[in-house]
Structure 1
Amino acid sequence: MGTVIMHNVVSVDGFIADSNDDVGPLHDWYFSGDTPITEPTDGAEFDHSGDGGGFRVSARSAPYVRAMWARIGVIVMGRHFFDLMNGWEGQPPTGEHVVVVSHRPKPEGWHPEASYHFFDDVRAAMAAAQELGGDRAIAVNAGEVGGQILAAGLVDEVAMDVVPVVFGTGKRYFGGIDTQLLLEDPHVVIEGDRVLHLAFKVRRQP
Structure 2
Amino acid sequence: MATTYLHNVVTLDGFIAKEDDDVGAMHDWYFSGDHSLQDDESHADAHGGVPFRVFAASAEYVRGMWDRQAVGVIGRHLFDITNGWEGHAPASDHVVVVSHRPKPDGWHSEAPFHFVGSVQDGVALAQELAGEGEIGIASGNMGGQALELGLVDYVAMDLVPVIFGRGKPFFGSFSDGPLLLEDPDVVIAGEGVLHLRYPVRGRAQAARG
TM-score by length of 1: 0.93
2:165 is aligned to 168
The answer to whether structure 1 residue 28 and structure 2 residue 1 are counterparts is: no
The alpha carbon displacement at 1:161 in A equals: 0.1
Alignment of 1:68-87 (within 5 A): 68-87=65-84
Distance 1:48 1:23, change over 3 A: same
The answer to whether structure 1 residue 193 and structure 2 residue 191 are counterparts is: yes
The alpha carbon displacement at 1:195 in A equals: 0.2
Q: 1:203 pairs with 171, 177, 201, which one?
A: 201
TM-score by length of 2: 0.92
Structure 2 unaligned spans of 5+: 204-209
Percent identity for Structure 1 against Structure 2: 57
**RMSD of aligned residue pairs (Cα, Å):** 1.5
User: In structure 2, what residue type is equivalent to 1:65?
Assistant: V
Quick one: distance in 1 between partners of 2:9 and 2:188? 14
More deviation, 153-162/174-183: 174-183
User: In structure 2, what residue type is equivalent to 1:102?
Assistant: S
Alignment of 1:85-124 (within 5 A): 85-124=82-121
The alpha carbon displacement at 1:48 in A equals: 2.3
Quick one: distance in 2 between partners of 1:48 and 1:3? 27
Q: Which consecutive segments of 4 or more residues in structure 1 shift more than 2 A?
A: 50-53
User: In structure 2, what residue type is equivalent to 1:193?
Assistant: E
1:183 is aligned to 181
Distance 1:105 1:162, change over 3 A: same
The alpha carbon displacement at 1:65 in A equals: 0.6
User: In structure 2, what residue type is equivalent to 1:48?
Assistant: H
Distance 1:55 1:17, change over 3 A: same
User: In structure 2, what residue type is equivalent to 1:24?
Assistant: G
Q: How many residues align?
A: 200
